[in-house]
Chains A and B, each alone.
Chain A
Amino acid sequence: MRGQAEILPLEGNEQPASFAARGGMDNGPVPLESYRSPELFALERERVFRRAWLFMGRVERVAKPGDFLVREVEICNASILIIRGKDGQVRAFHNVCPHRANLVETRREGNAPALVCRYHGWSFNNDGSLRGVPDQEMFLELDKSKCGLPPVALEIWNGWIFINLAEKPEVSLDEFLGSFKDYYDGVEAINLDCSVVIETRLKCNWKVVADAFVEAYHIPSIHRTTIKSMFSNRENPFGRLLDAQFFGPHRTISMFGNAEDTPREDQPIVALARDPSIYRPEVLEASARYMSHPAVNPTKQPGWSMDASTIFPNLNLDAGFNGQFTHEYWPVSVNECLHRATYYFPKPTNIRERFQLEYMMAWFVDVIYEDLGNVERTQRGIDSGATKGMQLSESEVSIRHSVQQIEKWLRAETVADALQ
């Protein structure tokens, strides 16, 4: 029965009564304290963002030696430089000069054979080591070998780059990803040659935004003119989930899709942009290979739209027909954050492909308008303290799991405890 929130039996287990039960959760109200408490926000800084592995980007963005990205982790006051060295290795550093702590690289991305600090001109090789110090003789006790850019732990999984801000990460990225890694390993990253990025600063807690992208319950209401017809139909008018699975702190939900959705008669330009004959054979083949992985559309129903996988704490690694896309939610203060959405496309080779891409971008931006339309109002409601918690449905089970895991990490003395 397509579109029913049918619980599939888990191997060797009794069939759980609900998605929440599958994740070891009850169905009661979920507290809002971590969305508004400055004390819990400070604890999130120390226990979540300084301990968890954090997503930085794809390796394709630093493809050649000297290619770099600068990423701000504002909650930790960290400016992080990801750079590929001459030796081909990708490393992460604090973007902070060992001389007098000026920020070294001022661009967001680019290519640099060497990095030069603008204050007094100290320079660094792209492996982070110190290269040159103007008027070096005047430093009477300078140990140049100790004056490279301060290193940050970095690991790469399937081309996805993560860092860890702990001086010594308590667990490796493998251990951190745990059973999610086993589930998701081998999903082929397709269509990566062209990425587009949309960023928005918002006056709300980062979890208010995260929660907006992990349920389809809102879609018939706020996406009436864009994606409603893709994510719901008469049989499943509220886009009930196809599936939900939990992997330690991580989770995935699989969303219903209306397989019969096509442009209407009065949408001739939409039809032109979405014309299926635009796709090149090699793009379709890559898509078919990717779609055959058990973790992409896990119930393998034709009526599917996308999977939203959350890698704790602040990354959505989502999967749609045309490949993966990501949402990142970066806390700034208890009620401010940055949302970053990244979509990937094959490089357009003709005007039809390019027009499709422009239409898709315009469409993504409008969908983001809709998604972000309520978040600041929601924060005001949360801050009023009028409600103690949220009433969550089965369709919103990902939010329930998010709060459960945040609370667990805030309590846990060690990462090993948090992961148990």
Chain B
Amino acid sequence: MALLPDGFADLLPFVAQWAKDDVQERHRQRFAAGMDGVQAFYDALAPRATDMMAYLDTVPLDDMPEEAANLYKLLMALAHVTLSVEHHGELAPPGTAFNPAVQIVRGPAPA
């Protein structure tokens, strides 16, 4: 089965690293990738965000086929890297660094 829906083949190289299951994992992945990884992901995803939303509007949010779920997870990851790229211009908020003590112990549904 395809990893992503038709028309999103350009995003395939990102699925393995960036299609994470929940908010905490996406937060971790952002810091694991470093600023170069974050920037590369952002540069590939940001121009596709509205296309991704248009596609995901056609599938039920609570019950997505797997290739749509991967696309959804990539879109969710874009929300996280946006903090680094569009807010801080660096990976973490100025003067801070990845802090494993900060735990998202309850996230939204669907994850």
Contact = CB atoms under 8 A, between A and B. Distances in A.
Interface of A: 108, 194-202, 222, 224-226, 266-270, 272-273, 345, 347-352, 354-355, 357-359, 361-363, 365-370, 372-373
Contacts of A108: 105
Contacts of B92: 366, 369
Contacts of A198: 102-105
B40 to A, nearest CB: 15
A358 B80 contact: yes
Interface stretch (B1-9, B10-18, B53-61): B53-61
A340 to B, nearest CB: 8
Contacts of B53: 351-352, 355
A355 B76 contact: yes
A354 B86 contact: no
Interface in B53-73: 53, 56-57, 61, 72
A226 B87 CA distance: 6
A284 to B, nearest CB: 20
A362 B101 contact: no
A270 B9 CA distance: 25
Contact of A196 (B56, B78, B104): B104
19 contacts: A196-B107, A199-B105, A224-B94, A269-B46, A269-B78, A270-B86, A270-B87, A272-B49, A273-B82, A350-B57, A355-B53, A358-B26, A358-B108, A361-B23, A361-B79, A362-B27, A362-B83, A365-B102, A366-B83
Most chain B beta carbons < 10 A, residue from A267, A366, A372: A366
A199 B103 CA distance: 5
Given A351-B56, A362-B83, A373-B96, A194 B109 contact: yes
A127 B94 CA distance: 50
A106 to B, nearest CB: 15
Contacts of B85: 269
B101 A373 contact: no
A363 B83 contact: yes
Contacts of A197: 104-106
